[in-house]
Amino acid sequence: GELISLAKQSHLPVKKVETWFRHRRAQDRPGLMKKFCEASWRFTFYFTSFFSGLALLYDKPWVWDHTVCWLRYPQQPLLPALGWFYLLELSFYCSLVATLPFDVKRKDFKEQIIHHIATITLIFISYCANLIRFGMIVMLVHDASDHILELAKMLHYLKRQRVCEAVFIVFAAVFITSRLVVFPLVTYYYFVTKFQLFLVSCLINAFLMILQLLHVFWSYLIIQMIFHVILHGA
């Protein structure tokens, strides 16, 4: 009805008006190039961040034995490399918040906002409280899967579907293992049981719980997608 009315007002055939609206809607959708560039940039950062973090931490005893994280706290010297790593991570997540209005809108847009705000708050508070050791472990656990997801997205945009599905399965395994097993049962457990509770730690604990709820939500979506691939092959 509206199309016919608009066609009469503009003295154009209904088909032309319909085609115009279809093209106009297509312009509002993000193009593959924009999606690919976004995924490429994030892949570059997450990949560099994860392996730089590994290089910085592999020889630190407190990475493999979390109880050492709290020895002589808060009189723990800040290594310059770890300080720079912290500032780079903080800058990156601040940039993600700044570019949210211009980035590709996804179904979990609101959850992404919550995640970025929680992450920025945790990085800032842990830096001020000199919880650098614990913060580095948390960031390393979280960075373990992100670059794999962005690689899967890039392959999807390049129409390499078989390889994309294989990479996505690897991502799912790493994500669920790191965020539903290692993070809550090892990293978070040692924070709650070994670290003395005070106002700052209670605040950190609250934001860690927010992250964990998001991990459960995203794991549910990931498992749904895996079943969709298995059942429908797409």
Question: Is-contact 154 39, C-beta < 8 A?
Answer: yes
Residues 6+ apart with CB under 8 A from 81: 56
Per-residue model confidence (pLDDT) at position 3: 62
User: Cα separation of 165 and 234, whole Å?
Assistant: 9
Neighbour-count burial of 97, counting CB atoms closer than 10 A to its CB (0-12 exposed, 13-18 middle, 19+ buried)? middle
Per-residue model confidence (pLDDT) at position 107: 79
Question: Is-contact 50 147, C-beta < 8 A?
Answer: yes
Question: What is the residue extent of each domain of the chain?
Answer: 1-29, 31-232
Maximal CA-CA distance, the chain: 80
Residues 6+ apart with CB under 8 A from 7: 13, 14, 16, 17
Per-residue model confidence (pLDDT) at position 7: 64
Per-residue model confidence (pLDDT) at position 24: 54
Q: What is the CA radius of gyration of the chain?
A: 22
Per-residue model confidence (pLDDT) at position 18: 72
User: Cα separation of 191 and 74, whole Å?
Assistant: 14
Per-residue model confidence (pLDDT) at position 168: 92
187-to-14, 39, 74, 214 alpha-carbon distances in Å: 62, 28, 18, 17
Per-residue model confidence (pLDDT) at position 21: 59
* DSSP summary character for residue 68: G
Q: Residue-wise pLDDT tens for the chain (234 aa)?
A: 676 676 667 666 767 767 755 655 554 455 778 888 889 999 999 999 999 999 999 888 888 887 788 888 878 888 899 999 999 999 999 999 988 877 777 778 888 899 999 999 999 999 998 889 899 999 999 999 999 999 999 999 998 888 998 999 999 999 999 999 999 988 888 888 877 767 788 889 999 999 999 999 999 999 998 888 777 765
Measure CA of the first residue to CA of the last residue in the chain; give whole Å.
36
Question: Is-contact 205 190, C-beta < 8 A?
Answer: no
107-to-17, 110, 111, 193, 218 alpha-carbon distances in Å: 30, 8, 9, 36, 11
* DSSP summary character for residue 82: H
Per-residue model confidence (pLDDT) at position 73: 80
Its pTM stands at 0.80
User: Cα separation of 179 and 183, whole Å?
Assistant: 5
